[in-house]
């Protein structure tokens, strides 16, 4: 066994992670478990990519993204949706200016949506539900 010195701030974050892992697994976890989890689930991105994400988040104030991690998770989720066997959506061209303005409106209004995509998906679901109710009432 080796001894590893860490800063107090890092120690606090590791302790938090150990707590989260313990809660998820229902089993007592150790710092070694937390470090192993970090190593196994980490993705190393090129500095240019991280700089680009950070720049866009700070310059454009993209709604719903407070960090590069949140942006990356959302980007990965969207890409997974794109490549699934099922067709999840049809690409609908929306002018960039309108899309960005909608993101800004969602953020400033404190709407319960993460971003414009989330807003659009929710409205599609609501219309489908309304249609199903209409069809059920028609029969």
Closest CA to 78 of 116, 128, 110: 116
Tokens of 6: 């860490």
What pLDDT shows up at residue 62? 58
What pLDDT shows up at residue 89? 58
Mean confidence (pLDDT) of the chain:
85
Q: Does residue 76 carry a pLDDT above 70?
A: yes
* Angstrom distance (rounded) from CA 29 to CA 21: 7
| E strands present in the chain | none
Tell me the pLDDT tens digit for each residue of 123-132: 999 999 999 9
- Of 83 and 40, the structure prediction assigns the larger pLDDT to 40
Percentage of the chain modeled with pLDDT above 70: 91
Q: Does residue 85 carry a pLDDT above 80?
A: no
């Amino acid at each position: 066994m080796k001894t590893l010195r860490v800063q107090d701030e890092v120690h606090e974050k590791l302790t938090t992670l150990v707590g989260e892992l313990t809660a998820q697994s229902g089993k007592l976890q150790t710092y070694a478990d937390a470090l192993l989890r970090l190593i196994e689930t980490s993705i190393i991105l090129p500095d240019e990519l991280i700089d680009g994400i950070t720049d866009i988040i700070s310059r454009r104030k993209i709604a719903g993204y407070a960090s590069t991690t949140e942006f990356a998770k959302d980007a990965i989720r969207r890409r997974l949706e794109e490549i699934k066997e099922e067709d999840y959506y049809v690409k609908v061209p929306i002018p960039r200016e309108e899309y960005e303005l909608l993101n800004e409106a969602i953020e400033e209004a404190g709407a319960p949506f993460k971003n414009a995509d989330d807003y659009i998906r929710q409205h599609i679901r609501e219309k489908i539900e309304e249609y199903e109710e209409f069809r059920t009432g028609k029969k």
